Amino acid sequence: MDFDTIPKTLDRFRPPPNLTDYRQAYRDFDWQQARIKDQGGGINIAFEAVDRHVQEEQGAQPALVWLGKQGERRVYSYGQLQGLSNRFANLLTDLGVARGDAVFSLCGRTPPLYAALLGSLKAGNVFCPLFSAFGPEPIRSRMEIGDARVLVSSARLYHKKVAPWRSELPHLRQVLLYDCQGDCPAGCLDLDLALSEASEIFTNCPTQAEDPALLHFTSGTTGPPKGALHVHEAVIHHGYSAWCALDLHPGDVYWCTADPGWVTGTSYGVIAPLCNRVTLVVDEAEFDPERWYRILADERVNVWYTAPTAIRMLMKVGDELVARFDLGALRFMASVGEPLNPEAVVWGQRVFGMPFHDNWWQTETGGIMLANFAAEPVKPGSMGQPLPGIRAGIVQVDEQGQLTELTTPGQVGELALRLGWPSMFRGYLHEEARYRNCFKGNWYLSGDLAYRDQDGYYWFVGRSKELIKSAGHLIGPFEVESVLLEHPAVAEAGVIGIPDEVAGEVVKAFVALKPGYEPDDELLKSLLAHARKRLGPAVAPREITIKDNLPKTRSGKIMRRLLRARELGLPPGDISTLESDEGDLHEK
């Protein structure tokens, strides 16, 4: 490969054939130039996502294919998306919304959300997307934490979830509502009307690399959600990582199934793909296996980014359904959000003819940090290798606060990242001490436990808060859950530690079954026997409870802390991100 031909600016990534070349490309990348190009010395996420392509005469390319719940299909070109977001930016400016003020959205996956996100960034505002299925309380508390100045929502969601307490938020000045049907509530602005009257021409706010751009709340898997703040410079990592970890290339059709209410749905559901000039597919509807396969087939999706829960639900449905669709356009599949059990990777290979590429990152890291790359072998069950330019390590912090890097392959410790990547969060809003606690020297500590193998691949062990200490063994829930998932009857598994006088803690598992399996004693015996055989008696669950469903966050993560609290009769803690679940069916 001729490295002289490797592009020096954000917009011109080319596909190197292997990881060594990715590394070289990263080193050659001229960050300074990317920051200043066309930006009067600054950098703006929306410029990189939309305007750049229009400037380069690619404005006619479809940017967004929107699929409505009722079967509607709308296509927006890059040029149209620019026009829409410019209208929104003009509207904010006309309303006197100051640079840096927070704009919140409470929208389903509908076109106004995309206009608001990009328009807010253009106008120099901080954008915070909320998940539309949140109840009134989680919405309110997040808007309070984030000093929401503007809210963008639909008239329906506003009436249901915001109107009763709106007047109690002192900072909230403007509420912009779409789908008002000519009946805009008092004190709100009809967004559809206002946008239709706003100008399509807008000069972006000259934001700088360190200007706040996005506020994302974490999933609340291990405790109350934290508001992580990101800056405009993050776009460098967004554009770059989608190219090298998701294999995105200009002209690809790409579907990220995450809702923009979570960091994945914004960083990799909107910004990163647009930076790479791909066509985004957006589905307004909720998860439905048949609909999902139909979208993959009908839209000729090339690259698909989804999550372990969805994959496990598709596995639960079985292989017949997928066989009815022509998924010939699909080239690359990736997963994030939770550990992806090896069983799921293998299933992907069998059913789609390609593996799921697991990758790891957090709300705090702002972008993908570890990945199974297109150009490298996939190791089922592993989170992959650090992205070129990212230095990861396994570390241990002793009681004196001394940090040691563990360099022997297989040693389990905390997964840490060397500071300095562009998309790193710049703070937890109003939680300075907690933010500072995430760092030790020049390392960011992730709170996840992992080990690295001889080939440099990282393997997830568990969150440090969820590790089980049983009779001198440290047991990661993921290992036990993955083994349970190998059993043909198991669709989902969640594993916790419960106190035990002798062992300190013992392993307890909760499983949900695939259709057609009876939750009887016979099955429980077979599950226990399978676990003991594969894991040995010290690590295998002492007890298994069969449930209809496991409690999950709305971003699709198993809430082990809730399983534990319920098991031990403790208060449930913050369950603002909980998706409903159901009670026990059978226990052993």
Q: Does 366 bind ligand ATP (CB under 6 A)?
A: no
For the bound state, the minimum distance from the C-beta of residue 359 to Mg ion, rounded and expressed in Å, comes to 16
Beta bridge partners of 506: 498
For the bound state, the minimum distance from the C-beta of residue 79 to ligand ATP, rounded and expressed in Å, comes to 33
CA atoms of 160 and 139, how far apart (whole Å): 12
Query: What residues from 5 to 34 belong to the interface with ligand ATP (CB under 6 A)?
Result: none
In the list 557, 559, 563, 578, the residue contacting ligand ATP (rule: CB under 6 A) is 557
In the list 113, 236, 383, 416, the residue contacting ligand ATP (rule: CB under 6 A) is 383
225 binds, among ligand ATP, Mg ion, none (CB under 5 to 8 A by kind): ligand ATP
Q: Could you tell me which residues come within 8 angstroms of residue 77 by beta carbon, excluding any fewer than 6 positions away?
A: 59, 60, 61, 62, 63
Taking residues 242 to 281 in sequence order and writing x for each that binds ligand ATP by CB under 6 A, - otherwise, the string is ----------------------------------------
Helix (H) or strand (E) holding 283: strand 279-283
Task: Give whichever of 310 and 329 is closer to ligand ATP, judged by the CB atom.
Answer: 310
| CA dist 102 → 126, 163, 195, 411, 587 (Å) | 5, 19, 19, 43, 48
CA atoms of 487 and 478, how far apart (whole Å): 15
Task: Give whichever of 154 and 362 is closer to ligand ATP, judged by the CB atom.
Answer: 362
For the bound state, the minimum distance from the C-beta of residue 379 to ligand ATP, rounded and expressed in Å, comes to 12
Task: Give whichever of 48 and 338 is closer to ligand ATP, judged by the CB atom.
Answer: 338
* 366-387 burial: b if 16+ Cβ within 10 Å, else e: bbbbbbbbbebebbbbbbbbbb
| CA dist 39 → 53, 174, 351 (Å) | 14, 29, 46
Q: Which stretch binds Mg ion (CB under 5 A): 217-225, 310-318, 377-385, 569-577?
A: 217-225
Total binding residues toward Mg ion, as defined by CB under 5 A: 1
In the list 360, 444, 458, 459, the residue contacting ligand ATP (rule: CB under 6 A) is 360
For the bound state, the minimum distance from the C-beta of residue 578 to ligand ATP, rounded and expressed in Å, comes to 12
Task: Give whichever of 218 and 276 is closer to ligand ATP, judged by the CB atom.
Answer: 218
Task: Give whichever of 79 and 260 is closer to ligand ATP, judged by the CB atom.
Answer: 260
Please give the single-letter amino acid code of residue 542. Answer: R
Total binding residues toward ligand ATP, as defined by CB under 6 A: 25
Task: Give whichever of 74 and 436 is closer to ligand ATP, judged by the CB atom.
Answer: 436
Q: Does 222 bind ligand ATP (CB under 6 A)?
A: yes
Helix (H) or strand (E) holding 496: strand 490-500
CA atoms of 428 and 138, how far apart (whole Å): 17
SS3 263: helix
How many Cβ atoms are within 10 Å of 192's Cβ, its own excluded? 17
| CA dist 82 → 26, 65, 279, 361, 363 (Å) | 29, 15, 14, 29, 27
Q: What is the DSSP letter of 542?
A: S
For the bound state, the minimum distance from the C-beta of residue 212 to ligand ATP, rounded and expressed in Å, comes to 18
In the list 309, 363, 385, 423, the residue contacting ligand ATP (rule: CB under 6 A) is 363
For the bound state, the minimum distance from the C-beta of residue 233 to Mg ion, rounded and expressed in Å, comes to 22
Return the residue matching tokens 């006309």: 94
**Residue 82 in contact with residue 48, Cβ under 8 Å?**
no
For the bound state, the minimum distance from the C-beta of residue 462 to Mg ion, rounded and expressed in Å, comes to 13
Interstrand relation of 174-178 and 189-190 (parallel, antiparallel or unpaired): parallel
For the bound state, the minimum distance from the C-beta of residue 366 to ligand ATP, rounded and expressed in Å, comes to 10
Question: Considering only CA atoms, which of 159, 166, 123 is closest in space to residue 143?
Answer: 166
Interstrand relation of 62-67 and 279-283 (parallel, antiparallel or unpaired): parallel
Query: What residues from 323 to 342 belong to the interface with ligand ATP (CB under 6 A)?
Result: 336-340
How many Cβ atoms are within 10 Å of 165's Cβ, its own excluded? 15
Task: Give whichever of 66 and 347 is closer to ligand ATP, judged by the CB atom.
Answer: 347
Q: Could you tell me which residues come within 8 angstroms of residue 264 by beta carbon, excluding any fewer than 6 positions away?
A: 256, 258, 305, 307, 336, 337, 555
Task: Give whichever of 218 and 306 is closer to Mg ion, judged by the CB atom.
Answer: 218
Q: Does 381 bind ligand ATP (CB under 6 A)?
A: no
For the bound state, the minimum distance from the C-beta of residue 335 to Mg ion, rounded and expressed in Å, comes to 17
| CA dist 455 → 368, 376, 377, 394 (Å) | 19, 11, 11, 14
463 binds, among Mg ion, ligand ATP, none (CB under 5 to 8 A by kind): ligand ATP
Q: Which stretch binds ligand ATP (CB under 6 A): 166-174, 222-230, 491-499, 511-519?
A: 222-230
Task: Give whichever of 110 and 222 is closer to ligand ATP, judged by the CB atom.
Answer: 222
Q: Which residues bind Mg ion (CB under 5 A)?
A: 218
Q: Which residues bind ligand ATP (CB under 6 A)?
A: 218-223, 225-226, 336-340, 358-360, 362-363, 383, 446, 448, 460, 463, 555, 557
